[in-house]
Chains A and B, each alone.
Chain A
Amino acid sequence: MPAVRHLPTSESEDLIALTRELAAKELAPRVTAAEREGAFPREVFATLGAAGLLSLPYPEEFGGGAQPYEVYLQVLEEIGAVWASVGVGVSVHALSCFPLFAYGTDEQRSAWLPGMLSGERLGAYCLSEAHAGSDPAAMRARAVRDGDSYVLDGAKAWTTHGGEADFYTVMARTSDDGARGISCFHVPAGTPGLEFDRPEDKMGLMGSTTATVRLEGVRVPAGNRIGAEGQGLSIALAGLDAGRLGIAAVATGLAQGALDTAVRYAKEREAFGRAIIDHQGLAFVLADMAAAVESARATYLSAARLKDAGRPYGREASIAKLIATDNAMRVTTDAVQVLGGAGYTRDFPVERYMREAKVMQIFEGTNQIQRLVISRHLAR
């Protein structure tokens, strides 16, 4: 049963219908093979871009859909319910566009944003380094000013779309002044010196490429710096608040997908002479799963409405990410349990959902870091 949604407008209802149609016709037929083979589905992003799904939260003047986060996140959830790698990709793409949109000059925005929002140019977001994941202020990659340009050196770890993207939003150090010594750069693919390691061999999310990006004397014009020198980390962290809501939505979607599979199976599978859903011990597992999915959705939507109203929402975004991803881990683990031995095989998608849920607790700030953010808000 698809999620029951209360949407604010008729166009958002039509948008969800369009997303479900694209998910059923363009994502569902591809997901199993691509996840097994580790194939990155670039063409799917082109399709989503052409349908306008990559530009939903941005204003119309840049070709965006001017949709509130409340709506955009539910679109993302529908995508995540069918293919988490693509949901994550859409979210990371939005994260990569955010610095330019929020901090770029008019000139930078009119030059780059339309191609990014139409999906012609796919983005990557380079914040983490091998030794600096939870603590990005410890980053070492450098950007040194040289006349009218900057020269970037270093290595950015864990880059989603590394090697596949058309542009890289890179955080690099422009001074040794700790968290205030970092700046943000727009680096187009194909810039000499931009190299990629072999992609990581991951536990899940195989359809999403994750690779270390090497910066070896990468020269970009000074006009490719986004925001002021030293503003980079605060730009990066501002983007993460919205990004965390994106991950919460994708996690809710994949939990919904696991729940739907489990319920369908539990109605058909019989044990001791009746459908397993008619055994209360199992039915209550399903009830808890449904409650976990709904509360995850309610939590991220509540944070989204604060954001849409222009209110601070950092604490609520962290709560949403924490709740939605922890719930997704539990729901997907239980879905494997509901399917019994079948759940442990690759003939059914629930083991994949379980592997996908795990990473949701790790990236865009581990769930320990979310607790850190939440508790710091409480201690203020």
Chain B
Amino acid sequence: MADLGLKAKDFKSDQEVRWCPGCGDYAILAAVQGFMPELGIPRENIVFVSGIGCSSRFPYYMNTYGMHSIHGRAPAIATGLSTSRPDLSVWVVTGDGDSLSIGGNHLIHALRRNVNLKILLFNNRIYGLTKGQYSPTSELGKITKSTPMGSLDRPFNPVSVALGAEGTFVARTLDSDRKHLTSVLRAAAAHQGTALIEIYQNCNIFNDGAFDLLKESDSREDWIIPLEHGRPIRFGKDGSKAVVRASDGSLTVADQVDEDDPRLVIHDAHVENPSYAFSLARLSSSDARYAPMGVIRSVTRPTYDHLMTDQLDTAAAAAPGDESALQKLILGNDTWQVA
């Protein structure tokens, strides 16, 4: 990509950042601003569209074009922008409530269409902006202001939802791991079509420590399942844990797996059939603490934007679309003269 000589600071707007001190959103903002120069895309061709929530304030802090819209609707708005302006690089920033409660419908439809959007889903497993109600990703039994006796609804796993919609690019990363976050952004930016990145984000006010297990040095290696395309899926402090394929074809975590164990799974993000990626996502259902991280799925499919443009081009090549053609169209075939 072209080096335009841009630096991270060129992507900082003049607006004061107003998240709570210590909020994970800061780290994500810094990582995104740090990554943007690498894109090699001039600032004017980049647009950030968000919904409503703490996370959705994001566009105000980016010195690009941006729209802070309404709750849940960012994927729909971005779809109209991206399909009508395929020349732009369009990014969506959304929260777990924004994307999976009120905007769930738009999210799955953007994914199934494969609109050329990069969707950053900040998952803090809580409603931040409205001060701490449980969200659709909060764990069962969560005690919050609106659920004093514990929440009753089972959470969504955003990665499973995205895979259920057969999203072409689905990844997961962590706010505090700048290097990993940046590598996932890089892979998403290179992807043609909808890229969904779930970013585990700490809300230190209403759900502090939600991801501590994945952050603290004495536990993270036990619970993060690192996914790298073409590499065996091994983890654990001494690297002895691994994802293996059981005799019934399902994936499970096993301990003490040798390098040459035939059951050992080599990660392949490009498998067409989403069931493999889905099985990876479901590893957390055996133990909710497991967190597969990285690019879970990345497959090639034409983008909606290009398919739509192709239809316009095909139609324009088949028949003229100038003013005289329009005149003919509105005249139709059954006219008469009044003299």
A and B from one complex: no
